[in-house]
Homo-oligomer: A and B are copies of this chain.
Amino acid sequence: MNNKPTILKLGGSAITHKTKPKTANMRIINNLAKEISTAKTQRLIIVHGGGSFGHPLAKKYALTKGYKDSSQIIGLAQTHEAMTVLNGIIVNALIRHNIPAVSVAPSSFIITKGGRIQKLDIDIVTKLLKMGFVPVLYGDAVLDSERGFAILSGDQLIAKLAIVLNAERVIIGVDVDGFYTAEPSDSSAVLISHITANELRKLQDHAGKSRATDVTGGMRGKIIELIPAIEHGVRAVIVNATKPDTVRKALCNEPVIGTLITKE
């Protein structure tokens, strides 16, 4: 039996209505809960993004830059509360599909430093997995030892979890089919079916030097976060979580449309 955990990321763009504040996409969430229930993946961790719950508030109160003035305090409280509401909706859908989902609040056990995870005690997540629970974490407003607070993205979180838990694979569910050479809506965009850590490093260098706009629909930043995990040996696949049966296939290791990311 393979004891390495699987991490499933559910992107905020897939599980919420982007343009409607604090509106969950219940159809997608219920479909995903059903697919996760069918797949019966052992040692599964779910991490979800914030979508229209977390992002507008984080932006309104300029939380990503850290503490500037006391008016942000209520903003951080509101942002964290919005995330717990979305988390509650997802955990509830999972439990209704008989998945023993247990929310684990990142802000209750993670502190960042300059926006990067500094302190993360993995003990509780490990114990939950061992007992058969499905821990459900999320991108969150967290305390930061330098900036006061920071926004911890779900993407940073999955990369860290994948390393410390020695995960076998990370499945990243988004609202497009994978990583494209250009904005997915552009007719010239080509889906990259496989990319390696070395190739990702080049993308990262390019992004760092040129300060160019991310033309890949925001996906480049997300996958650059994954590099340390990929170099650690974790296999990642980006799939479309809004297309029926896609996440189930990915969880069951069946062939699926998407972008595979491996070390070599």
Contact = CB atoms under 8 A, between A and B. Distances in A.
B143 A128 contact: yes
A81 B95 contact: yes
Contact of A105 (B73, B104, B148): B104
A70 B124 contact: no
A74 interface: yes
A248 to B, nearest CB: 20
B102 A124 contact: no
A124 B95 contact: no
Interface residues of A, number: 40
A76 B102 contact: yes
Interface string A142-178: 0100001100000000000000000000000000000
A77 B105 contact: no
Contact of A121 (B88, B100, B121, B143): B121
Residue picked from A67, A74, A77, A132, most chain B C-beta under 10 Å:
A77
A64 interface: no
A194 interface: no
7 nearest interchain CB pairs? A108-B108, A77-B100, A105-B105, A73-B100, A109-B109, A105-B108, A74-B100
